[in-house]
Structure 1
Amino acid sequence: MVFLFLHQNFPGQFAHLAPALAKRGHRVVALSSRFEKPQDWRGVRLVPYKYAEPEDHKLHPWLNTLNRAVDRGAVVLRACLALKERGLTPDVIIAHSGWGEALFLRDIWPDAKIGIFCEYFYQAANADMDFDPEFQATNELGRVHRVAMKNLGMRLQLESADAGISPTFWQADSHPPGLREKISVIHDGVDTDAIRPDPGVRLTLDGVGSWTRADEVISFVNRNLEPYRGFHIFMRALPDLLKRRPNAQIIVVGEDGVSYGSAPKQGGTWKDVMIAEVRDRISDADLARVHFTGRIARDDFTRLLQVTRLHLYLTYPFVLSWSLLEAMACEAAIVASDTAPVREALVHDKTAILSDFFDIPGLVDRIDALLDDPSRRAALGAAARQHVQRTYDLRQVCLPAQFDWIAGFAGRAV
C-alpha cells in the first residue's frame, strides 16, 4: 500500500510507525514543514512544504487557532495537489490533527482512508485550562466558547476521517462522545529493548559534568521549562531539597521556550523568572549542584534516565510525556504529580510515589524519604519497567496494535 503521513514536525508520534510500515514493504511518504529539501529517512520519503505564520488579520481572538489551522491546511492542500500531479495516490493517510494539515484532504483523494492522531481535545474545565489559578484566570469570560473554537479545527479533521488514534485513555476521553467513538487507544510505543537499565552506565555532558549510578542524581525533564510541566513547583522545592540532600546532583533538561502555556508576562524566560524567585534561598555552593543542560542528544538522554537515582515528573492534567514512560523503562524511581494522566500510567506506592501537584513541602518530603530507601526505589523501578513492558512495549504491544488499527479502517492487512 501507499501511505502518506502528515506532521509539521515529522516524525513526532510517527517515529516508529512510519518506518515500520516501510520495512514491511509499503511505500511511505511524509509531508512536513520541518525540512528544507526532500530526503529519505529509514525508508520513508520526506517531502517538505514551506509554511510561514499568517500575517495579523482583524480577527476575533477566539479565532486565532482556527485561522492558523485553516492557513496551514490550505498550504498543505496545495502541496498535496502537487504530489497528486506527480502521481501520488495514497491508500492511507495518517495525520496529526493539531495544526490543521488534514483539513482539506478528503477532496483531493476521496478514495483514501484517513486516520487521525488525536493528541488532545482542550477542556474548558476540570483539566489543564483551569488547573493552576496562579497563571490561569478562573473567571474568564467565554472560556467555554473560546475553547470550542480552539478545538474546531481538530473536530473537523476527525469528523471527516475514518478513524482516530490516541496514546492514552485520558487523552482519548477528552474528546466529546460522538468523536470519542472513532478513537482507538494505542500508545506510540516505548522501545524497551533499547531503553533499559544499565548498571555500568556513565553520563558525560561536555562542560557540565560526568555521573554514574554511584552519584545521587535527581533528574527533571521538560521539552521547555514552563508551568504546564510543573517547572515552577520544581524550582520552589529546590532550596529545601538542596539543603536536605547535600550530595544530590540535580540535572534539569529542557529549553527556554514555551510549548503549551504562555511566556512570563514580565518578559524573559520561565527559568529566569524562577531562578530570580528562589535565588536568595540557595547558596552558591548548592546552586553549583544544579545543572541546566538545555536540550541533549538522544543517547545522552537515555543515559540520564539510566543513571538517575530519582526522576521527578510534574504536569498539569495534560498530554502524558514520553519521558515519563522512558524513565519507567529504565527502572528509575519516580516521584510524580498526582494528576489524572499520570494516574493512568503509575500507581502510587506500586510503580511510583505520587504527590499533590501544589504541595511543595510534601513533595520534598517524598523525594527525601525515597532517596533514603534504596530497597523501595529498586522495587518501584522494577515494577515500573514491568508495567511499561506489559502495556507500552513498542514491538510486542504497540506496533502490532497500530497495524491492526490501520487494517481495521483501511480494510486491508498491513
Structure 2
Amino acid sequence: MASDFQAQLPGVDQHSYHFVTRGGGGSHPYLYEPNRAIWRGQAVLAHCTELARGGYRPDLIIGHNGWGEILFLKDLWPQAGVVGYFEFFYRGQGADVGFDPEEPYSLDDVARVRTLNTINLLGLDAVDIGVCPTAWQKQLYPVEYQNKLVQIHDGIDTERACPGSARPLRLPDGRVLGPDTPIVTYVARDLEPYRGFRSAMRAAVEILRRHQDAHMVFVGGNGVSYGNPPPSGGTWRNHMLTELSGQLPMDRVHFLGKLAHQDFINLMRLSRAHLYLTYPFVLSWSMLEAMATGVSLVASATPPVEEIVEHGYNGLLVPFADPGAIADGVLETLSMNEVQRRAMRRAARQTVVERFDLQWVALPAWQRLLRERFQAPL
C-alpha cells in the first residue's frame, strides 16, 4: 500500500511501499499513466521480495488492479492465488468517451484511452480471477476475458447507511435547514461534468424558480477527479456560477464542500429529493448509500444506474443532459403525496439491502468465491 495509507485494521499487519516515477526519456504522452502504474508495481514487488526473503509466503493475494500494485506478485509467489479488482475497461465508444456533447473528442482521445487499458490487459493475464462491481462494468471488458471475471459489488453497510432521525443542517452563514424544508441534494467527490454537475446547476434554475421554498445543497470538492477542468481554467463551480449569473437565487443554493461520512448520511436523511447524475462510468457508492438511507432518488438514465434504478419504483430516471427534464423529475418527487414518497423510499432501501448489503450479500459472495476457487478456510 502507498505510504499515505492511514487505516488500521485489527489483526492486519500494514506494510507501506514507496515509489518514484521516473520519466522515460522521450516516452509517448499516452504512456504517462501506464508508466506510473508499472513503477508502482515494481516498488511493490521490491518490498514484497524483502518479505519473501524473511520467509513470508501468502496463500492468497487480493488487490485493486487499476494502479499496478499487483501486476508482478504472481511472478514472485506463483503458488499464491491472485484476485484482482477490475473497475473499468476504457472504451472509445459506448462508455464515457463521446457521451457528453459538450465535451468534444477526437480520434487521438480514442487512441489514448485504448492505451490506458495497458494495465487492465496486463492485469487480466497476471491474476487467477477478477472481480467487477456491476454487470455493466464487467461487460466492458473484452469477451475473451469474460470467463475470468465475476460480478461482486464492494458492498454497502446498510446498518450505517439507514433511515433515521436527522439533525438540522447548519449552513456556513448560520441559517438552519430542518426536516420541514424541501432540500434537494447533489453529491459527488468533485463538482464536475462526469457526475452531471453542469446539468444539475442548470436544472437548479428551474427547480428553484418553480418551487419557492426549495433549497439546493451541493456536496463535493472543487477539484477534478475525472475528465478535464473548464477550458477557461478555474473550477467547474465558478464556471457554472458565471454561466448562470443572475438566474439562481443564491440564498437558496448552498455549497458544503466535502463532508464527513456521518454528515453525509445525516444530509441524506434530511433530503427531500436526491439528484444523482453520471456519465456511463463507474457507479458511485454515494448513490447506493443514499438509497440505503431511503431517499427519494432522481437519477440519470445511464449505465450502470439503469441496472439499479427502476423508474417509478425505487426512483425516477431522467435524461442526463436535459436540465428541463431533470427539473421536472425533481419537482415531481417534491410533489409526491406521502404514500407515494414512502413507497419509493422503501423500495430504494430494499433494493440496496437485497442486492448490495455488505454483511449479507457482498461478503458471503466473496467468501464463496474464495472457498470454491482457492479452498480458502473462511
**Same topology, TM > 0.5:** yes
Equivalent position SS for 1:202: coil
Give the letter for the 2:2 counterpart.
S
Displacement of 1:377 after TM fit? Answer: 2.2
Displacement of 1:142 after TM fit? Answer: 4.5
- Superposed CA offset, 1:237-290 (max 9, x none): 1222211122112221111111111122221111111111112212xxx21222
Match of 2:12?
Answer: 44
Residue 207 (1) aligns with residue 177 (2): no
Change in CA separation of 1:57 and 1:33 when aligned onto 2, cut-off 3 Å: farther
Match of 2:162?
Answer: 196
TM-score, normalised to structure 2, is 0.94
* Structure 2 gap segments, 5+ residues each: none
Residue 358 (1) aligns with residue 300 (2): no
- The question of whether the paired residues in 1 share the 8 Å contact of 2:169 and 2:267 is answered with no
Change in CA separation of 1:54 and 1:310 when aligned onto 2, cut-off 3 Å: farther
Give the letter for the 1:299 counterpart.
Q
- The question of whether the paired residues in 1 share the 8 Å contact of 2:97 and 2:110 is answered with no
Equivalent position SS for 2:187: strand
Displacement of 1:207 after TM fit? Answer: 3.0
Give the letter for the 1:403 counterpart.
Q
- Superposed CA offset, 1:45-98 (max 9, x none): 222222344447422222222112112111222122223234332111111111
- The question of whether the paired residues in 1 share the 8 Å contact of 2:277 and 2:299 is answered with yes
Identity %: 40
Equivalent position SS for 1:294: coil
Provide the C-alpha distance between the structure 1 equivalents of 2:261 and 2:55, rounded to a whole number of angstroms: 36
Provide the C-alpha distance between the structure 2 equivalents of 1:238 and 1:86, rounded to a whole number of angstroms: 60
Match of 1:96?
Answer: 64
TM-score, normalised to structure 1, is 0.86
Give the letter for the 2:291 counterpart.
M
- The question of whether the paired residues in 2 share the 8 Å contact of 1:192 and 1:329 is answered with yes
* Structure 1 gap segments, 5+ residues each: 1-30
Match of 2:88?
Answer: 120
Displacement of 1:358 after TM fit? Answer: 1.1
Judging by fraction of residues, say which structure has more strand.
1
Of 369, 373, 377, which residue of structure 1 is paired with 2:332?
A: 369
Give the letter for the 1:191 counterpart.
D
Runs of 4+ residues over 6 Å off in structure 1: none
- The question of whether the paired residues in 2 share the 8 Å contact of 1:249 and 1:290 is answered with yes
Residue 332 (1) aligns with residue 295 (2): yes
Provide the C-alpha distance between the structure 1 equivalents of 2:25 and 2:176, rounded to a whole number of angstroms: 51
Residue 322 (1) aligns with residue 292 (2): no
Of 267, 279, 298, which residue of structure 2 is paired with 1:304?
A: 267
CA RMSD, 1 decimal: 1.8
- Superposed CA offset, 1:185-234 (max 9, x none): 11111111221111x31144573654332221111000011100001111
Residue 35 (1) aligns with residue 5 (2): yes
Match of 1:266?
Answer: 232
Displacement of 1:387 after TM fit? Answer: 1.1
Change in CA separation of 1:53 and 1:247 when aligned onto 2, cut-off 3 Å: farther
- Superposed CA offset, 1:85-140 (max 9, x none): 34332111111111111111111111111000011101110110110121131xx2
Displacement of 1:158 after TM fit? Answer: 1.7
- The question of whether the paired residues in 2 share the 8 Å contact of 1:202 and 1:210 is answered with no
Provide the C-alpha distance between the structure 1 equivalents of 2:83 and 2:168, rounded to a whole number of angstroms: 40
Provide the C-alpha distance between the structure 1 equivalents of 2:2 and 2:312, rounded to a whole number of angstroms: 42
Residue 250 (1) aligns with residue 222 (2): no
Residue 154 (1) aligns with residue 120 (2): yes
Equivalent position SS for 1:390: helix
Match of 2:306?
Answer: 343
